[in-house]
Structure 1
Amino acid sequence: MQPDSVVFGASGLIGRFLVAELLRRGRTVAAAARQPDGGALTSWLTSRDVPLDGLALVRADIARPDLGLPPGDLTAVRDVYNCAGRYAFGLTAEEARATNVTGAVHVLDWAATRPGLRRVVHVSGYRVSGAGEPPDYRRLGAYEASKVEADAAVRARARERDVPLSIANPASVIGPGQFVGLASMVSDLWHGRLPALPGGREVFVPVVDAAYLAAFLAELPEDDRGRGEAYWILDDRTPVLPELIGLLAAHMGVRAPRHAVPVGLLRLLPRALTGADPETFSFLSTDRYDTASARTFAERAGLRMPPTGAALRAWADDLVAARFGAAGTPRGPYGYQQVAGTATWISGERERPGHVLLHGLPLDSGSWREVADRLDGPVLAADLPGLGRSGPARGPAAEWLAELLAGARPVLVAHSAACVPALRYAAAHPERISRLVLVAPAFLQAPSSWPARTPLAALLLRRMSAARLAAVLGVPEGPAVTAAAAGLARPGQARRVVVALRAAHAARDELRRLLDRVRVPVEIVTGSADPLTVAVDRPVTTIAGAGHYPQLTHPGEVAAAIG
């Protein structure tokens, strides 16, 4: 196979999306990177149902004049995309220039030797003016200054060598896998570490959807009128930064900061206090950008940007699902939905689930992942209000559960403290569930010796490491425990866990009476190391060797008992 396109920087976010777009269009693509991780790229493409027949993986280093490619390689390439770049702050001028300037010129020189070259597409950034003025590295910082210098250098070399060139200046790219730039502010917002907004009330940080950008880049060589043009590719409808953050805060159920700190003051404050690299402050600007040529081109190509709010909310869901880059992105569907006024994190099928899984303390719905993968039919798992990734409750738990289960008659599965709302719901609405499964029902077991019952419980939990939490729970340290420890560090989370645990303990007698009266089939699953201390007239499955969290230690056995 002789690729007709080459994407340098294919392992980066823009490069991955562009490779996927080109392959979907039936193009043959050389995905080039300095250290190509073929397994990671092909897995990502496969997860998005992208055909791989036209893909070739290539090792290349744009810092070298020959790109590290043998002279006879990729001779059939028509379209050359340079998505490679060093996107980092705190670089020296030499480090930034090696890739962003010298490397960009090397790509253009190499492309000029392709006999059938149709277009070189150079990906730059929206803060590049295109005026050709020498950049001030001291004022702008090495990253932004190197992108400005590269813009002028690439234009000049293209004129010298008569290379057909298009320049794309995208805004802050949003999409699955984007964990840098604006994502760090969203992370601080979600974790409760954003007391005030950086910049003024009119700061404009424009965004562009990754999939839309990839489609735009793929179209550029197809239009002869795009030769020699530069395009500022951004969503003009992006709200100003305070409104953008407010939109995401409402979606994720967290509090948005009420105050803003002017950029001038931020520059005077020590980095230890702001937690931000001074280079990022130049992006906190009220500047607007001329997108007329990009809009005209998109119209000719039939491209439509997704609605701004929907794109931002979907990106926020991706960030939270991947724990802001700390974990892999799970299989969808997932995201925040409003349930009885509460911003609720939901994974799986909401419409007609066969099983609904409710987590215990201090975990979230991710603790059911290995069990859910083993169950037949659609599964819905949700983080309880105020716990896990869900926002604080906006009403009674009964109303939340009633709206969550509206229109379905599933098997309702609850672990430990979640047995409280589940059993109450089953007693009040027996016609709305087909079966109730109680996993490690705490109200039928010995009272917990958990540290959450001590006077300083919330403080202890908030400061608990994943390793310590795993030891307390009696389970191996893994993704579910790591996520729980991270969640407990969020403002108010540990306190709400303590309140929920104490409420569950106070309801023990009530729940035992309800269990005797509930009219739906009830089954109980428990571990041999965490036995029932109350005799019940219900079917009980005991899992040998399991403790209070059998879904983490014995997911196969739990799934079999549920199914």
Structure 2
Amino acid sequence: MDAIVFGAAGFIGRSLVAELLGRGRRVAAAVRNDTLTPWLHAQNVDTGGLTVVTADISRPLTGLPHARDVYNTAARFAFGLDLAQARAANVTGALNVLEWAATLPDLRRLVHISGYRVSDADPDRAGLGAYEASKAAAHHAVRARARELGVPLTIANPSTVIGPGQYIGLASLVENLWNGRLPALPGGPDVFVPIVTVDYFARFLAEIPASPAGEDYWVLDDTTPLLPELVGTIADHLGVRSPRRTVPVGLVRRLPRRITGTDPETLSFLSADRYPTASARAFADRAGLEMPPAADALRAWADDLVAARFGGASPWLRPYGFRGRTWVMGEPHRPAHVLLHGLPMNADLWAPLAAHLPGPILAPDLPGLGRSAPTAQAMDAWLADLMAPVRTRPTLVAHSLACGPALRFAVERPDRISGLVLVAPAFLQPPGPWLTRSVLAVALLRRMSAARLAATLGLPEGPEVASAAADLRRPGVAGRVVAAMRAAFAERETSRSLLERVRVPVEIIVGSADPLATGAGHPVTEIAGAGHYPQLTHPAQVARHLGAVADPIG
């Protein structure tokens, strides 16, 4: 083999395998369980040069395919480990990889992944957590043993590695920020937590074996903003409030974790230290490698974290991300369908229906709801901005409360859409009485578990309801849901009158358990057995009836 990668199913390892395969290398991927191959297929990586082998680096290694280049990306990266757990993978495992590499007749290089904070740390220094102490011990042990055995070694010391799938470390701080649980930043204003993207680091690692051995590379972005600015950049992108206060690390250490929400092991990483990156920068220049701008990388990673619910879910539609203050999923320029969700849901409401629709779709979270930040724009202006980049004439599909804005857009801009589908239009149905009591409704919504929300809405528990429940717990969202419902109720008569003026094909879809309270003047399809959310409970039937409106025109 050209290379063997230990820890190939991990966050760094899988990206390295993808990079090497993309360069036409024959790669052996050493894993304990093969979660790698499905991930590579999902990334559209050609796996023709891949051989997957089973290996447990906590034990002596035998029977593995020979390779010129050996990469050890395996590590137990977690906080709260006991020392024995951490050392088994991070120290014993690293030495086992080295001992095996020393037996290879054509070994060109062993590349060991260490860390930017542990390289010069005393592994016996007091105050280190199990993870950091084990990585420091491994760094020194691998270097000493490689020298004894004459193994050509390069050590790469990455900083905080970010990218899709990284939910540990700095990601926890972003999650607290997103959920309104970060009233102050731990550390002072000069704290430097550098980043590097996983794609860049994988390219860097792929270049190492062709360079001279014996070097240590600190791989990080020197231009990473200091922690307060870093958090401010992410907060501005997410449309949430950034903490303005800092709390000294010493004080955070003395406070109970239930108050700070901070794992004590992470506090040693909150430092103003800088790192010797000159050799890594020179190496990157020779290899033609260029880091993406730190702010752009942080914003893209924040999108990935929100899309994946910080590791709790898998995104159902790509691309995704914030466009201004609005969370948008799908095709922004040439959609066949534009889907506007009702309340108290978000764009994930459409996932079951989307699986039955032909062509690309565009599905935003309404302003101030779901994952979108509030805006001073009126809803009609917001919808016009959303549709501005669209170059097709899509079918506009709206649910419940969103039917009013969708109808107004159809009346004002019939040239922009080919048809209008109103699913359970709220302005033609009676309001739920419990939602008119705004204070009580907000309190109820904020405290609802996914199971309770599903029961309240008459829906089965599922990822769409869980997604909505998670958003309702975020600061301000429940209040804005109730305010939007009350505003829509006040516009009911206006919306009804617009049905007579719309000049594009209109289809109205309701559930048999949630019928209209008044006439519509347009064709109405009733889905047997469905309630207020037929696109969730009966997506195939709803998709069939969307054909009653005009096909999208490119």
Q: TM-score range by the shorter chain?
A: over 0.9
Deviations 1:92-142 (CA, angstroms, capped at 9, x unpaired): 333222221121111101100011111000001110234xx6423532222
Deviations 1:201-243 (CA, angstroms, capped at 9, x unpaired): 11110000001101111110122x2x01000000111111111
In structure 1, the partner of 2:48 is: 53
Instruction: Give distance in 2, aligned partners of 1:145 and 1:263.
Output: 19
Quote the offset at 1:407 in angstroms: 4.4
Picking from 78, 89, 92, the partner of 2:68 is 78
Which aligned pairs between 1:542-561 and structure 2 lie closer than 5 A? 542-561=526-545
Tell me which amino acid in the other structure corresponds to 1:81: Y
Q: Does 1:399 align with 2:381?
A: yes
Picking from 313, 321, 327, the partner of 2:307 is 321
CA contact (8 A) 2:499 2:521 kept: no
Quote the offset at 1:186 in angstroms: 0.5
Instruction: Give distance in 2, aligned partners of 1:369 and 1:493.
Output: 21
In structure 1, the partner of 2:475 is: 491
Instruction: Give distance in 2, aligned partners of 1:331 and 1:21.
Output: 24
In structure 2, the partner of 1:208 is: 196
Deviations 1:443-465 (CA, angstroms, capped at 9, x unpaired): 11233245564541101110011
Picking from 415, 422, 426, the partner of 1:438 is 422
Quote the offset at 1:431 in angstroms: 2.6
Tell me which amino acid in the other structure corresponds to 2:147: R
Instruction: Give distance in 1, aligned partners of 2:150 and 2:535.
Output: 64
Single out whichever of 137-146 and 308-317 deviates more from structure 2: 137-146
Structure 1 runs of 4+ off > 3 angstroms? 449-455
CA contact (8 A) 2:26 2:49 kept: yes
CA contact (8 A) 1:322 1:330 kept: no
Instruction: Give distance in 2, aligned partners of 1:138 and 1:86.
Output: 21
CA contact (8 A) 1:453 1:502 kept: no
Picking from 38, 41, 49, the partner of 2:36 is 41
Instruction: Give distance in 2, aligned partners of 1:352 and 1:194.
Output: 39
In structure 2, the partner of 1:466 is: 450
Instruction: Give distance in 1, aligned partners of 2:461 and 2:289.
Output: 46
Which aligned pairs between 1:40-439 and structure 2 lie closer than 5 A? 40-64=35-59, 66-67=60-61, 69-70=62-63, 73-75=64-66, 77-130=67-120, 134-223=122-211, 225=212, 227-338=213-324, 343-408=325-390, 409-439=393-423
Quote the offset at 1:514 in angstroms: 1.2
Quote the offset at 1:399 in angstroms: 1.0
Deviations 1:338-394 (CA, angstroms, capped at 9, x unpaired): 1xxxx1000011113221100000110111122223222221100000000000122
Alignment coverage as a number of residue pairs: 545
Instruction: Give distance in 1, aligned partners of 2:117 and 2:38.
Output: 33
Instruction: Give distance in 1, aligned partners of 2:72 and 2:87.
Output: 15
Tell me which amino acid in the other structure corresponds to 2:210: E
Quote the offset at 1:196 in angstroms: 0.8
Tell me which amino acid in the other structure corresponds to 1:74: P
Change (3 A) 1:228 1:535: same
Deviations 1:48-93 (CA, angstroms, capped at 9, x unpaired): 11101111221111111x23x33xx313x11111011111222233
In structure 2, the partner of 1:7 is: 5
Change (3 A) 1:527 1:125: same
In structure 2, the partner of 1:506 is: 490
Instruction: Give distance in 2, aligned partners of 1:331 and 1:60.
Output: 34
2:323 aligned counterpart, secondary structure: strand
CA contact (8 A) 1:353 1:377 kept: yes
CA contact (8 A) 2:234 2:299 kept: yes
Instruction: Give distance in 1, aligned partners of 2:112 and 2:401.
Output: 55
CA contact (8 A) 2:435 2:482 kept: no
Quote the offset at 1:435 in angstroms: 1.4
Instruction: Give distance in 2, aligned partners of 1:92 and 1:464.
Output: 36
In structure 1, the partner of 2:507 is: 523
Instruction: Give distance in 2, aligned partners of 1:82 and 1:141.
Output: 22
CA contact (8 A) 1:356 1:381 kept: yes
Q: Does 1:562 align with 2:552?
A: no
1:138 aligned counterpart, secondary structure: coil
Change (3 A) 1:452 1:191: farther
Question: Which stretches in structure 1 are left out of the alignment for 5+ residues?
Answer: none
Tell me which amino acid in the other structure corresponds to 2:369: L
Instruction: Give distance in 2, aligned partners of 1:560 and 1:346.
Output: 25
Single out whichever of 422-431 and 482-491 deviates more from structure 2: 422-431
Instruction: Give distance in 2, aligned partners of 1:420 and 1:557.
Output: 23
Quote the offset at 1:545 in angstroms: 1.2
Instruction: Give distance in 1, aligned partners of 2:244 and 2:389.
Output: 39
Single out whichever of 157-166 and 254-263 deviates more from structure 2: 254-263
Instruction: Give distance in 2, aligned partners of 1:450 and 1:270.
Output: 39
Instruction: Give distance in 2, aligned partners of 1:553 and 1:254.
Output: 33
In structure 1, the partner of 2:551 is: none
Quote the offset at 1:499 in angstroms: 0.5
Tell me which amino acid in the other structure corresponds to 1:426: A
CA contact (8 A) 1:450 1:472 kept: no
Quote the offset at 1:160 in angstroms: 0.4
Single out whichever of 480-489 and 362-371 deviates more from structure 2: 362-371
CA contact (8 A) 1:452 1:458 kept: no
Instruction: Give distance in 2, aligned partners of 1:364 and 1:541.
Output: 24
